[in-house]
Chain A
Amino acid sequence: MYDFAYQKPSSVADAVKALGAEDAKALAGGQTFIPVLKQRLNKPSVVVDLARLGLAGIKVTGEAVVIGAMTTHGAVAASAEIRRAIPALANLASMIGDEAVRHRGTIGGSLANNDPSACYPSAALALGATITTDRRAIKADDFFQGMFTTALEPGEIITSVSFPVPAKAAYMKFKNPASRYAMVGVFVAKGPAGVRVAITGAGQGGVFRHAAFETALSANWSADALAGIATPADGLNSDIHASAEYRAHLIGVMARRAVAAAG
C-alpha cells in the first residue's frame, strides 16, 4: 500500500472540504477500499475517514426505512425494526461477505462503490430508494450509472438512504462460494412504485431492471408468471465463475425463487 495523509473530520462540511484536495478519497468501512489500496490500484494523497460524522443509525416509519450511510451491514441485518418493515433488506445484509466484514462494511460505501456484484444496489433500485447526499437527494433510477460509476460528484458524500416500505419483497442470490459476492442476485418488490425487479452480479453495466419480468409480474405476481420468459445473454458478464449464458439462466431461476419467497 502506498502511504497517504489521513484525516478524520467531525462534520460533513469539513469532510466535503477535505475531499476537495487533489486525489483525496473517502474511507467508509474500508472492506473494499483497503484491499484496493493494498493492491496499489489506487494512490490517494489523502484518505478522509467518515467514521466521525455521525452518519450511522436506523429510523423506521410506517412508510420508509431510513439508514444512515455509515450503518454497517451487521447493524442492518440485526435490526428488529428493519426485519419487521422490510425483511428482504435485513436478509440481504445478513448474506454480504462474512460476520467480520459485516461489522465494518457500510451501506453508503457499498452504494458509492457500485460494484457490479454488490448486493445493495439491487435493493436500492428495486425498492425505488432515494439516496441523500451532503447536497441533494438522488433517485436510485438516476444514481447507478454503470460499473463502479454513480451520479455522485467528486467529493460528494452519501449521508443516508431511504427505502419505501413495499407490500412484498425478497432477495435471492446465487453466491460465489469463495467471495460470497453475487454471481447473480435478484431483488423483486411490489411497492408504492409498482412491481420492480433489479438484477445484480450479472450485467456488464452493473445493476439493471428486468422489464420483461416486471411486466409479467405486474399482471400476475407469481413465480409461474416468469416461466418461459428467457433473459438474453447479451450484455451479461462472462468470467471464470460463469458464462453470460449461465448467468442469463440463473437470473430466471433466482427471480422465480425470489417471487416464491416474497409470497
Chain B
Amino acid sequence: MPQVTLTVNGKSASVEVEARTLLVELLREKLALTGTHVGCDTSQCGACVVDVDGVSVKSCTMLAVQADGAKVTTIEGLAAADGTLHPMQEMFREHHALQCGFCTPGMVMSAIDLVKSHPEGLTEAEIRHGLEGNLCRCTGYHNIVKAIAAAWPLMHGKAMPAAAE
C-alpha cells in the first residue's frame, strides 16, 4: 500500500493507506483528528475544509496520496498550545456564528483562508461569495459573515480599509 508522509498541525505523520483513501479519511480515521467533518461527501457542503499548503481544500475530494509531502492544518491546529483561540474562532464565539456547530470547522477554515487572501479588505458581498462552498443549515449565515468581518482587523493587525467596509 502507498505510504503518505505529511505534516499535520505542525507534526510529521507517516501513514500507510490504500490509494483510494480520501484525505479526510486519513485525518479522521488514521490520525483521529475528528474535528474535520464529513457532511455531504459530494464536495458541496464544505464541512470537511482543511488548509493544504496554504489554501482551503475540500478534504473529501482529495486523495490522501495527493497530500504526500503537504503541510495540512485542521481545526485542531488553530488554537495556541495554552488554549487561546485563533482570532477567527474567537469571533465565531463572540458573534454567535454557530448553532449546532456541524459546519463550523469547515466555515472557520474557509474563513481564515478568505481573510488571509484578501489583505486589501473584504466587503460583505465578497465574504458571502467566499462562503459559497460552505453550507450552514442553522444560522442563515448572517452572524458568520459578521464574525469574519470582525476577525479581519484582528488577523491583519489594522482596521479594515474604509473602502472595503
Contact (Cβ within 8 A) B44 A103: no
Chain B nearest Cβ from A86, distance in angstroms? 21
- Write out, one digit per residue, whether chain A residues 89-101 have a CB within 8 A of any chain B CB (1) or not (0): 0000000011111
Known: A31-B61, A104-B57. A98 touches B20 (CB 8 A): no
List 18 additional A-B contacts (Cβ < 8 Å) besides A6-B19, A101-B58. Answer: A2-B20, A3-B18, A4-B19, A6-B63, A8-B65, A8-B68, A30-B61, A34-B63, A35-B42, A35-B43, A38-B42, A99-B114, A99-B130, A100-B56, A100-B57, A104-B61, A179-B44, A180-B132
B41 x A38 contact (CB < 8 A): yes
B84-114 interface mask toward A, CB cutoff 8 Å, 1 = contact, 0 = none?
Answer: 0000000000000000000000000010011
CB distance from A93 to the nearest CB of B (A): 13
Smallest CB-CB separation from B1: which chain A residue? A3
B110 and A100 contact, CB distance less than 8 A: yes
- Size of the chain B interface, CB-CB below 8 angstroms: 30
Q: Contact between B66 and A178 (Cβ–Cβ < 8 Å)?
A: no
User: Cβ of B20 and Cβ of A37 under 8 Å apart?
Assistant: yes
> Is B140 at the interface (CB under 8 A from chain A)?
no
Residues of B within 8 A of A230 (CB): none
Q: Does A58 contact B (CB under 8 A)?
A: no
The 7 closest A-B pairs by CB, nearest first: A98-B133, A6-B19, A103-B55, A98-B132, A1-B20, A100-B56, A3-B20
Q: Are B56 and A35 in contact (CB under 8 A)?
A: no
Chain A CB within 8 A of B46 CB: yes
Residue of B nearest to A6 (CB): B19
Cβ < 8 Å to B, chain A residues 1-38: 1-6, 8, 27, 30-31, 34-35, 37-38
Interface residues of B in 123-165 (CB under 8 A from A): 130-134
